[in-house]
């Protein structure tokens, strides 16, 4: 068996074609409207998303899906998927999560042999479940023998690095500043993962109104580098 640490690095690398690195989560719209203009603004944006959205909704659903996947309970995986879909209020975000989830699942099925991933693909194809990215990520983490905690870390790390990379491409952050942010966010990631592991699907919540508005306005931007 290949060392699971290699799978951890593979999953959390921007080179892995999951589709999630095409998303700016409202960052592009906020840059274009001058709401985000500096490294400090980027870090504040990340803090808000991690603490008020990703850590208290996406990650909770991911952890629940990981545990259900480990128990080979597809009905509970679908429940986590459907509840996160209902919790994600912005249509563009839901659609982007489905696209990146499908991209991740297609790549995972071609890379690793796992019957559960095939079964979940069938559920998506028959519209029994939406197949959101955090849910698929949880199942892939289990399939490549990552622990629950390592799967959570890989998910959060890829989310943060994806947004930091987006900030660089948008011209509001340099490479040195990006590394400083990633270093400071490491403690945040650990705390968020620990907190989410103790919560249930019923505890999910999110509150990022300014970022939500930015995401909804993204489609009206004249020029776009990211899909949302």
Q: What is the pTM of this model?
A: 0.92
Average pLDDT for 93-111: 91
Residues 6+ apart with CB under 8 A from 218: 24, 26, 28, 29, 92, 224, 226, 228
Average pLDDT for 143-161: 92
pLDDT at 21: 66
Ordered DSSP codes for 148-193 = HHHHHHHHHHHHHHHHHHHHHHTTS--HHHHHHHHHHHHHHHHHHH
Residues 6+ apart with CB under 8 A from 159: 20, 50, 54
Q: What is the pLDDT of residues 159-170, one digit of tens each?
A: 999 999 999 999
Distance of CA 168 to the CA centre of its chain: 19
pLDDT at 196: 97
Q: Which domains does the chain have, with CATH numbers?
A: 35-218 (1.10.4190.10)
Q: What is the pLDDT of residues 27-85, one digit of tens each?
A: 999 999 999 999 999 999 999 999 999 999 999 999 999 999 999 999 999 999 999 99
pLDDT at 43: 96
């Amino acid at each position: 068996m290949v060392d699971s640490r290699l799978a951890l690095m593979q999953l959390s690398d921007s080179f892995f074609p999951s589709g999630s690195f095409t998303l700016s989560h409202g960052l592009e719209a906020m840059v274009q409207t001058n709401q985000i203009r500096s490294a400090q603004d980027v870090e504040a944006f990340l803090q808000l998303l991690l603490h008020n959205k990703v850590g208290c909704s996406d990650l909770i659903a991911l952890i629940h899906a990981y545990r259900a996947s480990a128990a080979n309970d597809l009905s509970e995986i679908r429940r986590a998927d459907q509840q996160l879909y209902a919790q994600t209020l912005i249509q563009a975000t839901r659609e982007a999560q489905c696209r990146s989830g499908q991209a991740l699942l297609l790549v995972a099925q071609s890379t690793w042999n796992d019957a559960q991933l095939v079964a979940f693909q069938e559920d998506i194809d028959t519209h029994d479940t939406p197949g959101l990215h955090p849910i698929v990520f949880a199942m892939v983490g289990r399939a490549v023998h990552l622990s629950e905690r390592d799967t959570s870390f890989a998910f959060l790390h890829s989310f943060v690095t994806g947004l930091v990379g987006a900030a660089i491409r948008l011209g509001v952050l340099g490479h040195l500043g990006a590394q400083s942010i990633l270093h400071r966010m490491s403690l945040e990631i650990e705390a968020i993962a620990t907190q989410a592991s103790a919560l249930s699907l019923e505890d999910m919540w999110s509150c990022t109104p300014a970022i939500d508005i930015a995401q909804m306005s993204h489609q009206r931007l004249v020029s776009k580098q990211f899909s949302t």
